[in-house]
A and B are shown apart, each in its own frame.
Chain A
Amino acid sequence: MDPNTETALIAEVEALRERVAELEEVLHAIRTGQVDALVDGNDIFTLASAESASNRFRGQVLQQISESVIALDNDQRIIYMNEAGEQQYDRKASDVIGLPLTDVYTYEWLKPGDEQAAWDAIRDHGHWRGENIHVKRNGEVIHVESVVNVLHDEVRRPIGLLAVMRDISEEVRARQALSESALQKDRFLATLAHELRNPLSPLMNGLQLLEGDDVDLTLLNTTRGMMQRQLDHLVRLVDDLLDLSRISRGKLELRNAHVDLVTVLHMAVETSRPLIDRNGHHLRMNVQPGTYPVYGDNTRLAQIISNLLNNAAKYTPRGGTITVDLTAHEGQAVLSVSDTGIGIRPEEIGRVFDMFTQVDGSAQGAGGLGIGLNIAQRLTVMHGGRLEAYSDGTGRGSSFTLHVPLTASIAKDTSDSVPVEHANGAGIRILVVDDNADIAGSMVVILRKAGHTVGSAHNGQDAIRLGAILKPQLVLMDIGMPVMDGYEACRRMRAQYWGERARIIAVSGWGQEGDRKLSRDAGFDGHVVKPIERSTLDRVIGEASHHLKD
């Protein structure tokens, strides 16, 4: 045999020997129960063994528990982690088995002594339940509620620990928010009691003075003036509280009409003028020429503007300047009240409209409940507008801007290019509701061209929201819509003060007597079948206009 062949043969034999040795090893491992499963092609055959039941339990039960389950051996190394644990700690079980627990998270305790108590419980009773904090490897911190049990083998020797853990970070946050809210309410009540009592002493004093025998005219007038001011202050506080309560319960009604915001502004200035003058401030008015037609409650609008002016006066050192700007921009009236006062800290700007917040009282004549701006904002929203606050920081003044829709453009545009026409004498306010945007859109175009003020919505819920702002006299509503259908929307509209007397017409593909009855029962005034013919539409609008005059 030549040397090459011999070398080749020897190598082949070696390889075979190794292969046989490996197979022998496999057989030995199988016979001595060291194998979980055998592979045949793509199939994996799991062998039955004494541990099968336990393995199935791990796989089928523990894996599916929504709490994290981690098992440790006596050296605090991880020997099991379920899928919930993989998600909670952002690690794969196969990566962490065999590693110490601290590789996955470290813990911190809520109170000193907690840690000792936990280990004592485990040592003395074999289990512990409690809360602590886990710091994940990526630094994220979570609040956890854990139940830890000692694991034992068949002869009751401890072989490790089993921990079942629940992430309660959300609950803890909610708990904290709740107690903060309770604290805020307590503080508010304390301030309220204080503020209500303040005017009472001077009032009592005044009464006593007036009872005296030696009251001359001068004293009478001074005292009466003082008592009147105190009483006014008290009345304002109580009114604010009542407003807040009514708004919170959704029971504050606006008495809406077409008003000119300029008139409202003058009303507000008149109300706030005494306070502005008393503080020696200069008031500048920059009203862009024009009218500012707004559909709203003029008393409430004036209340909003007055609140802004009063705040400007209160939070500006004597002799400051308050500037009012009024312009129109993209269908909205934009009214700003700016001052040269103490400003607002950047970290507090976000909370300026929250209930019960008040800037630390560095303002003169500041008494007050801290609810004025909250009420102002909610009233603004009820008018379909928004209120914003700006400030460059402490000592740099503040500026509050009110945006209110002008009536000529209240409608929700479905196509920007359609010119919005002023509602003339014959035009009415119409709300079109249809989940098909094309149908709604084309109807809006037709109605606007005819000179009406039109808004559109695509489901019952939006229709009710928009209705509250638009206060339509006629509603053309599709029945079949997602989220809330026409029947339900009609019922709810009838329960609103603006919907009670509006003409609400059902627009449906179905026109049988049964369908018309369903509409009547839901509160519709009429029922027309799609597609609506022009003559039908004219008739419906005519009826609605006529109905208005009643």
Chain B
Amino acid sequence: MDAVPATNSTGTAPGSPEFVLHLFVSGQTARSTRAIVNVRNACEQYLKGRYELKVVDVLLDPRIAAEEQLIALPTLVKKFPKPNARFIGDLSSTDRLLARIRI
């Protein structure tokens, strides 16, 4: 097998990637799995090499949910580029997802 795509593409420039996305989930559920798969697919397709996706399971540290002022899970938060944007749901609609994170 040839070279495998990296989990967290960090872009060609040294330093941070252009898009930083955090996906907050509550445990390894069927829905959170779907959300992760969908987001990863969209990123690989449209942002290849320019994004970093971090999956955070708030069940492991519930304080994060309060810190991030989350209302429901799963929630996708765009941290960079500013301004922040949030997206709630199972994120299967790629168009809406992309619109929200403003490509």
- B5: chain A residues at CB < 8 Å are 99-100, 103
* Interface residues as binary, B65-94 with A (CB distance below 8 Å gives 1, 0 otherwise): 110001111100000000000101110000
- CA–CA, A58 to B27, complex, Å? 10
> How far is the CB of A62 from the nearest CB of chain B, in Å?
9
Assess A98 versus B36: contact at CB under 8 Å? Given A42-B62, A58-B29: yes
Question: How close is B32's CB to chain A, nearest CB, in angstroms?
Answer: 6
A29 in the interface (beta carbon within 8 A): yes
- State the Cβ distance, B76 to closest chain A Cβ, in Å: 12
Contact B65 A103 (CB under 8 A): no
- Shortest Cβ gap from A350 to chain B (Å): 38
Closest approach, in angstroms, between the C-beta of A489 and any C-beta of chain B?
A: 51
Say whether A51 contacts B29, CB under 8 Å. yes
Contact between chains at B33 and A99 (CB < 8 Å):
no
CB-CB < 8 A to A525: which residues of B? none
- Given A38-B71, A42-B65, A42-B66, A95-B55 contact (CB < 8 Å): yes
Whether a CB of chain B sits under 8 angstroms from the CB of A89 is no
Main secondary structure of the interface of B (DSSP, over half): mixed
* B36 neighbours in A (Cβ, 8 Å): 94, 97-98
Contact between A36 and B4, CB atoms less than 8 A apart: no
- Given A30-B72, A39-B73, verify A98-B40 contact (CB < 8 Å): yes
Contacting residues of chain B (19-71) with chain A, CB-CB under 8 angstroms: 25-33, 36-41, 55-59, 62-63, 65-66, 70-71
- Does A413 reach chain B (CB closer than 8 Å)? no
Please, how many angstroms separate the alpha-carbon atoms of A59 and B86 in the complex? 27
Say yes or no: A103 contacts B7, CB within 8 Å.
yes
Asked if A55 meets B62 with Cβ closer than 8 Å, knowing A26-B71, A103-B4, the reply is no
B-contacting 9-mer, from A72-80, A117-125, A165-173, A503-511: A72-80
Alpha-carbon distance between A26 and B72 when the two chains are bound, in angstroms = 7
A41 interfacial contact with B, CB 8 Å: yes
Q: Are B73 and A102 in contact (CB under 8 A)?
A: no
| B72/A58 in contact, CB under 8 A | no
For residue A22, CB closer than 8 A to chain B, the reply is: yes
* Complex Cα–Cα for A464 and B55 (A): 59
State whether the Cβ of A37 lies closer than 8 Å to any Cβ in chain B.
yes
Give which listed residue, B7, B8, B33, contacts A80 with CB less than 8 A. B33
Using CB atoms and an 8 Å cutoff, list the residues of chain B in contact with chain A.
1, 4-5, 7-8, 25-33, 36-41, 55-59, 62-63, 65-66, 70-74, 86, 88-90
Task: Show 21 A/B contacts (Cβ-Cβ < 8 Å), sorted by A.
Answer: A25-B88, A29-B89, A32-B89, A34-B90, A35-B72, A38-B71, A41-B66, A42-B65, A44-B62, A44-B73, A51-B31, A55-B27, A55-B29, A55-B30, A58-B28, A59-B27, A73-B37, A94-B25, A94-B36, A94-B57, A99-B5
A55-B30, A79-B33, A103-B7 known; 6 other A-B pairs, CB under 8 Å? A26-B88, A36-B29, A36-B32, A43-B62, A46-B27, A77-B37
